[in-house]
């Protein structure tokens, strides 16, 4: 279950070490989709199963299910699903799921929520989950008497309604009260009495429940009034379930883009004023509010038409259609915004049962009650209105759209994060928001700006196992190769304490020895090299994904150590760096072989063989000189695999059938030894064949997965001479040796939806 912890200001993001439930995820919009999903998972916002559903695309309504939902189904229609970040509501963090096709809504909401949290976030009152049912009675005469009789029998009517739904009463809900009114029909002047049944429907939207109750009391109502009941149905004007939310934004947070805080605040108040005075503006103003509300309604499987109907009817309650929000200037200078909007939603039943995305989105919100979800929806309406009015009061909506468009183009063009903002600005200035233009600008910038910057960065190698994984645990040799430039890091002497930024992974953390996981490990490293009390910012630029069996954690440690060494002139030897990285591996992974840290430090192809004798430990590694350059493409499944788990699985089989498994390990060991000479002598065809054989043995050890198999087959089909899983298996990565086909293998991996990393080893 998610713990939605609260954080009281934005500036504390760098200090947050416990990420659980946090809705601040720096650089989220720039991450590849898979990394966004894992950032949500890392914060405990979605489960393992959710990650699996999202990455496999199985989170959508399946066709056979859709066929049972409506008639004449011919397909399932897709819409983008995203999340708005930064929401702090009643001191709790929320990541808000949104399903919508219009650009700028998600970004607008995240930006508005970010600004709001600087002033303490949003507040919202509990929303009463009350739905009204209507019973229309046609009577011959004396409506006053009919109304009075109904009111006198209020308790009986309520009790009768509740007898039809005892479960709702047991859940603390049920019919509560009645109200009555009368009117004369416009067409033929007939007399009508209408009874409202007020029902607390708890976490259900309640439409069916209320309709059943209205139908169930109809005969009794006829008996009491002597009339004839006609309509018996809920009302979508759900004005007993009003979400009232509020936000207070300090002036200093409003300023920007050449406007003072006062100018922005007064502009928003003025824009709101027109929407209070004039229905033409009010319709557009409220449409903006519904941009956010509907997107969240869709994401949570709620009936957005019902919510729309309620909002617009309520907006006309004073006899004139008006804005649903109010923005004021308060004495102390603050901008204060308020919304009151009917919000009758459900968190049980309906699409929650049929649509896996809806279930994911409810979990993302911390599985709220209907009352809590209604509050969040009110807040989202207010935030969206703020974003729209702020944009309209400053650069205007078109400029904002342009900005977003430019961001998306820069992202498609693969612009590196270090000059992303500059490329976006230059693109807008150029008026030519095109992918080729973004690439051209980025290229020019990299010539001018980036070279000196990257020179400050220190790098470390990742690793792949070319041959011999798993058998290596049983004393056979393994060959490891380096992945050049796997992680880069730079240390700047600035800030307060030690902060680590990994923009690609959305990590922005203060490093403390007591911190769990990775921040604690870096803190220990820094104290081991005597820098614990320094002020520094460590920036890390990983070029390989996490937890994919590519030695990322060792590479991270080595790159950080080298960057600190460079910044503080410590003159650490490679041996010392390797030792320290090995200590990190032990803390992170228990009993590592030492391969990862050794390759991360020295960046050389190595043959590793475990030594029985402690005294011979130095002899574990033998350098290998390559007879020919190697061109390899790494295919990443995106499925995390824990090497410790696969090692344990293989061990269990070995324990059961030691002879059978020993002979498999022997086979792997033998082809690894032949592989060593093939590498040294540049016999690439033979090496490829050995890799294919090795994959077969690893398959026999049941270490492959459908994704790994798909990648292996794609690689072989597109010209790889050898392809195999690498490392632990059960997910993670595979490698393809493709001397003449690097490009086509890379493209084919990408076309099938996998990340591809080409490397060349000289
Ligand atoms: C566009 O979808 C919504 C806005 O028009 C709302 C408004 O004008 O307040 C920007």
What value does the mean pLDDT take over residues 526-542?
A: 91
**Residue 637 shares a structural domain with residue 618:** no
| Number of Cβ atoms within 10 Å of the Cβ of 686 | 18
What is the dihedral angle through the alpha carbons of 21, 26, 32, 35, rounded to the nearest 10 degrees? -30
User: Vertex 84, ends 421 and 28: CA angle to 5°?
Assistant: 40
With 50 as the cut, is the pLDDT of residue 2 above it?
no
Instruction: Determine the distance separating the centroid of ligand 1 and the alpha carbon of 281, expressed in angstroms.
Output: 10
Residues 6+ apart with CB under 8 A from 499: 14, 508, 509, 510, 511, 536, 537, 538
pLDDT single digits (tens) 440-458: 888 777 654 333 344 478 9
Cα–Cα distance between 756 and 754 in angstroms, integer? Answer: 6
> Per the residue annotation, which of 41, 196, 246, 287 is the catalytic one?
287
pLDDT at 19: 61
Most distant CA atoms of the chain, gap in Å: 108
Active site residue 102: yes
- Which of 235, 261, 289 corresponds to the end of one domain? 235
**Residue 525 shares a structural domain with residue 483:** yes
With 70 as the cut, is the pLDDT of residue 33 above it?
yes
pLDDT at 1: 31
> Per the residue annotation, which of 401, 543, 743, 747 is the catalytic one?
401
Among 285, 385, 399, residue to substitute to test ligand 1 (most atoms within 8 Å of Cβ): 285
**Residue 509 shares a structural domain with residue 636:** no
With 50 as the cut, is the pLDDT of residue 10 above it?
no
Instruction: Determine the distance separating the centroid of ligand 1 and the alpha carbon of 288, expressed in angstroms.
Output: 4
Cα–Cα distance between 641 and 511 in angstroms, integer? Answer: 27
Residue 244 phi, psi dihedral angles, 5° rounding? -115, 110
**Residue 174 shares a structural domain with residue 300:** no
| Number of Cβ atoms within 10 Å of the Cβ of 587 | 16
Asked if residues 12 and 28 have their Cβ atoms less than 8 Å apart, the reply is no
What value does the mean pLDDT take over residues 334-358?
A: 92
Instruction: Determine the distance separating the centroid of ligand 1 and the alpha carbon of 300, expressed in angstroms.
Output: 23
Residues 6+ apart with CB under 8 A from 657: none
What is the CATH number for 514?
Answer: 3.30.230.10
Q: How many domains does the chain have?
A: 5
Q: How many residues in the chain?
A: 762
**Residue 257 shares a structural domain with residue 369:** yes
**Closest ligand 1 atom number to CA of residue 291:** 2
Instruction: Determine the distance separating the centroid of ligand 1 and the alpha carbon of 290, expressed in angstroms.
Output: 10
Residue 69 structural domain: 11-125+247-396
> Per the residue annotation, which of 50, 93, 294, 303 is the catalytic one?
303
Residue 612 phi, psi dihedral angles, 5° rounding? -70, -40
Choose the weakest-confidence range: 193-207, 249-263, 713-727. Answer: 249-263
Would you say residue 693 lies in a domain? yes
Residues contacting ligand 1 via CB (< 6 Å): 102, 284-285, 287-288, 291, 388, 392, 397
Among 322, 388, 400, 401, residue to substitute to test ligand 1 (most atoms within 8 Å of Cβ): 388
Among 100, 287, 315, 400, residue to substitute to test ligand 1 (most atoms within 8 Å of Cβ): 287
**Residue 392 shares a structural domain with residue 405:** no
- Which of 596, 622, 648 corresponds to the end of one domain? 622
Among 292, 392, 398, 404, residue to substitute to test ligand 1 (most atoms within 8 Å of Cβ): 392
Cα–Cα distance between 344 and 313 in angstroms, integer? Answer: 14
pLDDT at 410: 83
- Three-class DSSP category at 544: coil
Would you say residue 452 lies in a domain? no
Would you say residue 240 lies in a domain? no
pLDDT at 618: 61
Asked if residues 389 and 268 have their Cβ atoms less than 8 Å apart, the reply is yes
User: Of all protein residues, whose CA lies closest to atom 6 belonging to ligand 1?
Assistant: 288
What is the CATH number for 341?
Answer: 3.90.770.10
pLDDT at 9: 32
**Residue 595 shares a structural domain with residue 678:** no
Instruction: Determine the distance separating the centroid of ligand 1 and the alpha carbon of 283, expressed in angstroms.
Output: 9
Choose the weakest-confidence range: 216-220, 309-313, 389-393, 497-501. Answer: 497-501
pLDDT at 430: 78
> Per the residue annotation, which of 8, 12, 49, 102 is the catalytic one?
102
pLDDT single digits (tens) 407-435: 878 877 778 766 777 788 788 777 788 88
Active site residue 303: yes
Please report which confidence band the pLDDT of residue 740 belongs to, taking 50, 70 and 90 as the band edges: confident
- Which of 622, 650, 684 corresponds to the end of one domain? 622
Instruction: Determine the distance separating the centroid of ligand 1 and the alpha carbon of 285, expressed in angstroms.
Output: 6
pLDDT at 239: 98
**Residue 208 shares a structural domain with residue 158:** yes
pLDDT at 694: 98
Would you say residue 46 lies in a domain? yes
More confident residue, 16 or 311: 311
pLDDT at 614: 64
User: Of all protein residues, whose CA lies closest to atom 3 belonging to ligand 1?
Assistant: 288
What value does the mean pLDDT take over residues 208-229?
A: 97
Instruction: Determine the distance separating the centroid of ligand 1 and the alpha carbon of 29, expressed in angstroms.
Output: 22
pLDDT at 446: 66
Helix then strand then coil, in percent of the chain rounded to 5, is 50, 20, 30
With 80 as the cut, is the pLDDT of residue 592 above it?
no
With 90 as the cut, is the pLDDT of residue 460 above it?
yes
Please report which confidence band the pLDDT of residue 615 belongs to, taking 50, 70 and 90 as the band edges: low
What is the CATH number for 710?
Answer: 3.30.70.890
User: Of all protein residues, whose CA lies closest to atom 1 belonging to ligand 1?
Assistant: 288
With 50 as the cut, is the pLDDT of residue 698 above it?
yes
Q: How far apart, in Å, do the first and last CA atoms of the chain sit?
A: 49
pLDDT at 617: 62
**Residue 289 shares a structural domain with residue 374:** yes
Cα–Cα distance between 487 and 500 in angstroms, integer? Answer: 14
With 70 as the cut, is the pLDDT of residue 82 above it?
yes
Residue 175 CA to its chain's centroid (Å): 40
Would you say residue 3 lies in a domain? no
User: Of all protein residues, whose CA lies closest to atom 4 belonging to ligand 1?
Assistant: 288
With 60 as the cut, is the pLDDT of residue 346 above it?
yes
| Number of Cβ atoms within 10 Å of the Cβ of 337 | 25
Cα–Cα distance between 579 and 661 in angstroms, integer? Answer: 33
pLDDT at 734: 97
Instruction: Determine the distance separating the centroid of ligand 1 and the alpha carbon of 392, expressed in angstroms.
Output: 8
Q: Is 205 exposed, middle or buried (0-12, 13-18, 19+ CB in 10 A)?
A: buried
**Residue 83 shares a structural domain with residue 118:** yes
**Residue 429 shares a structural domain with residue 363:** no
Would you say residue 336 lies in a domain? yes
pLDDT at 424: 82
Return mean pLDDT, the chain. Answer: 90
Cα–Cα distance between 615 and 442 in angstroms, integer? Answer: 53
**Closest ligand 1 atom number to CA of residue 289:** 6
With 50 as the cut, is the pLDDT of residue 404 above it?
yes
**Residue 301 shares a structural domain with residue 427:** no
Would you say residue 453 lies in a domain? no
Model confidence pTM above 0.85: no
Asked if residues 759 and 717 have their Cβ atoms less than 8 Å apart, the reply is no
Cα–Cα distance between 406 and 421 in angstroms, integer? Answer: 10
Residues 6+ apart with CB under 8 A from 683: 627, 677
With 70 as the cut, is the pLDDT of residue 515 above it?
yes
> Around 532, how many Cα atoms within 13 Å sit in the side-chain half-sphere?
11
Active site residue 401: yes
What is the CATH number for 162?
Answer: 3.30.70.420
Would you say residue 376 lies in a domain? yes
More confident residue, 35 or 184: 184
């Amino acid at each position: 279950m998610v713990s939605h912890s609260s954080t009281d200001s934005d500036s504390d993001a760098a200090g947050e070490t416990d990420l659980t439930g946090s809705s601040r995820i720096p650089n989220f919009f720039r991450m590849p989709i898979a990394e966004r999903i894992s950032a949500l998972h890392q914060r405990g916002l979605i489960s393992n199963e959710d990650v699996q559903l999202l990455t496999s695309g199985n989170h959508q309504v399946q066709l056979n299910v859709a066929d049972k939902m409506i008639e004449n189904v011919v397909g399932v229609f897709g819409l983008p699903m995203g999340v708005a970040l930064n929401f702090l509501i009643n001191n709790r963090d929320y990541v808000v799921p949104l399903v919508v096709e219009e650009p700028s809504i998600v970004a607008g909401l995240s930006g508005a929520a970010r600004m709001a949290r600087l002033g303490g976030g949003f507040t919202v009152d509990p929303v009463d989950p009350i739905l009204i049912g209507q019973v229309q009675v046609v009577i011959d005469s004396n409506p006053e008497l009919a109304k009075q009789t109904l009111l006198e029998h209020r308790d009986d009517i309520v009790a009768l309604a509740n007898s039809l739904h005892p479960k709702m009463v047991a859940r603390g809900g049920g019919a509560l009260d009645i109200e009555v009114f009368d009117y004369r029909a416009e067409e033929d002047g007939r007399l009508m009495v209408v009874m409202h049944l007020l029902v607390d429907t708890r976490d259900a939207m309640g439409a069916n429940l209320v309709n059943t109750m209205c139908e169930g009391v109809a005969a009794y109502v006829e008996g009491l009034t002597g009339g004839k009941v006609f309509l018996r149905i809920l009302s979508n004007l759900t004005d007993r379930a009003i979400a009232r939310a509020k936000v207070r934004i300090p002036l200093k947070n409003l300023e920007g883009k050449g406007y003072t805080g006062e100018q922005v605040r007064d502009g928003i108040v003025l824009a709101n004023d027109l929407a209070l005075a004039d229905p033409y503006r009010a319709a557009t103003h409220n449409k903006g509010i519904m941009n956010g509300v509907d997107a969240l309604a869709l994401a949570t499987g709620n009936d957005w038409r019902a919510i729309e109907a309620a909002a617009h009817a309520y907006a006309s309650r004073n006899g004139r259609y008006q804005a649903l929000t109010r923005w004021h200037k308060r004495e102390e200078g603050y901008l204060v915004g308020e919304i009151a909007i009917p919000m009758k939603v459900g968190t049980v039943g309906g699409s929650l049962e049929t649509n896996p995305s809806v279930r994911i989105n409810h979990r993302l919100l911390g599985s709220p009650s209907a009352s809590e979800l209604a509050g969040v929806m009110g807040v989202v309406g207010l935030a969206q209105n703020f974003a729209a009015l702020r944009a309209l009061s400053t650069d205007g909506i078109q400029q904002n759209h342009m900005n977003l468009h430019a961001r998306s183009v820069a992202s498609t063009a693969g612009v590196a994060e270090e000059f992303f903002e500059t490329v976006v600005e230059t693109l807008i200035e150029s008026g030519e928001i095109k992918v080729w233009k973004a690439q051209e600008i980025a290229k020019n910038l990299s010539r001018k700006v980036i070279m000196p910057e990257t020179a400050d960065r220190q790098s470390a190698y990742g690793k792949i196992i070319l041959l011999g994984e798993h058998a290596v645990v049983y004393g056979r040799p393994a060959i490891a190769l380096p992945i050049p430039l796997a992680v880069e890091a730079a240390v700047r002497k600035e800030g307060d304490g030690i902060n680590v930024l990994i923009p690609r992974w959305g990590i922005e953390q203060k490093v403390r020895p007591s911190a769990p996981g990775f921040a604690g490990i870096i803190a220990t490293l820094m104290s081991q090299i005597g820098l614990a009390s320094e002020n520094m910012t460590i920036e890390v630029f990983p070029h390989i994904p996490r937890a994919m069996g590519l030695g990322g954690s060792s590479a991270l440690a080595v790159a950080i150590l080298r960057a600190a060494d460079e910044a503080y002139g410590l003159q650490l030897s490679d041996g010392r760096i390797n030792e320290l990285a090995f200590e990190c591996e032990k803390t992170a992974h228990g009993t590592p072989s030492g391969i990862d840290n050794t390759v991360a430090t020295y960046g050389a192809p190595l043959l590793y063989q475990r030594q029985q004798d402690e005294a011979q430990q130095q002899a574990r590694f033998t350098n290998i000189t390559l007879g020919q350059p190697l061109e390899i493409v790494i295919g990443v499944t995106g499925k995390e695999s824990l090497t410790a788990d696969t090692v344990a699985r293989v061990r269990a089989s070995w324990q059961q059938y030691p002879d059978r498994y020993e002979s498999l390990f022997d086979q792997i060991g033998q082809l690894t030894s032949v592989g060593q000479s093939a590498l040294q002598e540049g016999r690439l065809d033979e090496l490829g064949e050995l890799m294919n054989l090795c994959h077969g043995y690893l398959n026999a050890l049941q270490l492959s997965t459908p994704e790994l198999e798909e990648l292996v087959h794609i690689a072989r089909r597109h010209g790889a001479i050898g392809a195999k899983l690498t490392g632990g298996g059960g997910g993670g990565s595979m490698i393809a040796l493709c001397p003449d086909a690097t490009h086509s293998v890379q493209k084919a991996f990408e076309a099938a939806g996998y990340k591809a990393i080409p490397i060349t080893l000289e």
